[in-house]
Amino acid sequence: MGSIRIRGRRTPTAVLASGAVLTVLCGCTVQASGEERRTPVHIELPSGTPSPKSAPPDDKPSATPTPPGQPAVLWSRGDEGRDIRELQARLRQIAWLFDGPTGTYDDLTEQAVRGFQGKRGLPKTGKTDEVTWERLLTMTREPGKWDLYLMGGQPADAPDARCMTGRVLCISKSSRTLRWMIDGRSVLTVPVRFGSQYTPTREGVFSVYWKSRHHVSTLYDSPMPYAMFFSGGQAVHYSSDFAATGYAGASHGCVNVRDERAIAEMFDQVRTGDKVVVHW
């Protein structure tokens, strides 16, 4: 009866949020010894728990084992999740990507990674492997929450208790989101932007007292489409600047919406007198 021999090798994986942390993958070859010789079977066995910052999404299909001498691929086109947002945010920091972050590894992300790799003499695969990721980490800083959600896409927090009855524009400064709610049910949820520290958006309970579909600000001479006024000159309205620059800017006190289709739909449903709650 033949014996079984297992040979292991260790491959460093560079992944971390603020330094270099190693994730170890062991590749084992199982083969028969003695007179009977069979084709070796290559088995990949994980060792330890991967860092959440570098591990591929849980629902990613099992990848083909990495050939010896080549860095393992962490993410590639089609992958989604928080890790992809971080990759995109870091690429934005060094001007290889200008859109997003979206959280989806799309063609623009692939092109940005390929360009980054080529500039540094790495194989231009467009896939983020261990070596590419380590190099990117050394050149960038840890992204903050609003770097990851610069163009929206963040989850909304739970509605304020004052939003649970009637028809309400429920606006959270904490999650920077607006829920259009009817009797406790969220009809639409969109990311929003607020005023700066010098022109803050007022907090409290208000009501929509005037709607103006094609409004233009007389104070700032700027368009405010789909404006729903709730406190003096402050209104919920569409902002083309928010759509273009995300949270890199701020309003003059109004609640900006970047999704024109969504606010157009909301504008048609909201009535004068509907409640507005602005809360943390």
Of 101, 103, 195, 193, the C-alpha closest to 151 is 101
Name the least confident of 55-59, 60-64, 269-273.
55-59
Question: Would you call 237 a catalytic residue per the annotation?
Answer: yes
**What's the pLDDT at 90?**
98
The helix/strand/coil state of 50 is coil
4-148 belongs to CATH 2.70.210.12: no
**Average model confidence (pLDDT) across the chain:** 83
Question: Would you call 215 a catalytic residue per the annotation?
Answer: no
Catalytic position from the list 28, 42, 237, 252: 237
CB 215 within 8 A of CB 257: no
**Phi and psi of 118, rounded to 5°?**
-60, -40
Inform me whether the pLDDT recorded for 16 exceeds 50.
no
Per the model's pLDDT, the better-predicted residue between 96 and 68 turns out to be: 96
Residues of the chain with CATH 1.10.101.10: 4-148
Catalytic position from the list 163, 170, 215, 254: 254
Residues of the chain with CATH 2.40.440.10: 161-279
Q: Give the C-alpha distances (Å, rounded to integers) separating 112 from 141, 151, 187, 234.
A: 18, 18, 36, 40
The label of the residue with tokens 């700066």 reads 196
Would you say the C-alpha torsion 205, 241, 86, 79 has a positive or negative sign?
positive
Chain segment 80-131, per-residue pLDDT in tens? 999 999 999 999 999 999 999 999 999 999 999 999 999 999 999 999 999 9
Q: What is the pTM of this model?
A: 0.72
- What does the alpha-carbon distance between residue 72 and residue 13 come to, in Å, rounded to a whole number? 8
Chain segment 120-173, per-residue pLDDT in tens? 999 999 999 999 999 999 999 999 999 999 999 999 999 999 999 999 999 999
**What element of type H or E holds 255?**
strand 255-257
CB 148 within 8 A of CB 101: yes
* Averaged pLDDT for residues 31-55: 38
Q: Give the C-alpha distances (Å, rounded to integers) separating 128 from 60, 75, 123, 146, 224.
A: 14, 5, 11, 23, 41
What CATH class has 161-279? mainly beta
**Phi and psi of 268, rounded to 5°?**
-70, -25
